[in-house]
Amino acid sequence: MKTVNIAFSPCPNDTFIFHAMVHRLVDTGDFRFIPRLYDVETLNEFALAEKFEVTKLSFHAYLHLNDKYEILESGSALGFGCGPLLVRGSTTKEIGDMTIAIPGRYTTAFMLLRLWEPSAKKIIPVRFDYIMEGVHNGIYDAGLIIHEGRFVYKKYGLEQIVDLGEWWEKETGAPIPLGCITARNSSFSEKEKNELSTIIRSSIEYAINNREASREYIKYNAQELDDEVIESHIRLYVNEFSLSLGDQGYRAIRILEKMAREKQII
């Protein structure tokens, strides 16, 4: 039995995806998985340090890894209509003059902001779940929100400046690549990486076909989110690209890398 530390976020899409495999509700072969839950930017930083054998991370961070990890076919977060939003409170400043809270310098959200508007330079990294309150309280002029933020930002009295996912789709025609599941190359053979992808896909299929099985686990980790937001979150971020990246998914990743290199972001 091979013990594998698998790191992912406490967000509903991740806990929905990984619940079955970490609780051995599907065949995990010779693998036993130990879940390690952290916010997205902490996952990115740990991946850069090669801390865990299997990890979720932002595609932006992945492009800095220099072949330390390989993207697995299953488990990624891509899609249409699911990109990060830039929101503001009462400020009337231009983008270049705004103090903008971002969920981390290695997040795909921040990469997209830089691609969309290079003049956004007054940047403050803030844990993603503190951003909306900070903008509401006037600590920051604007905030770059991810995950469930798109469902609840209006409750904080905030207004949208731009939907970066919508911008991306108009620019590229591709799904927006947000996060991926990767395996550390030094820890696995190619055969084992394929096995990991198969297990993740089985875990997703189990979750889809047994939606009540993971509910308590999801709610425990989501904490403040209500049932409607949780379900909306899962429906948006767990889709056909989660089951398999496919040609369209890999093309989207190549486009993101090409754009980032042209703008000298990576």
Q: Are residues 79 and 169 in contact, defined by beta-carbon separation less than 8 angstroms? A: no
DSSP 65: S
Other Cβ atoms less than 10 A from the Cβ of 64: the count is 15
d(C-alpha 176, C-alpha 252), whole Å: 7
Cβ–Cβ < 8 Å for 127, 199: no
Q: Which of 60, 136, 147, 233 is catalytic?
A: 147
Of 49, 48, 51, the closest CA to residue 7 belongs to 51
Helix (H) or strand (E) holding 55: strand 54-58
Q: How far apart are CA 206 and CA 16, in angstroms?
A: 10
CA distance 115 to 176: 13
* DSSP-derived 3-state class of residue 250: helix
Catalytic residue flag (residue 136): no
Return d(Cα 190, Cα 186) in angstroms, integer: 11
Cα–Cα dist 207/204, whole Å: 5
Q: What is the DSSP string of 191-205?
A: HHHHHHHHHHHHHHH
Q: What is the largest CA-CA distance in the chain?
A: 58
Catalytic residue numbers?
147
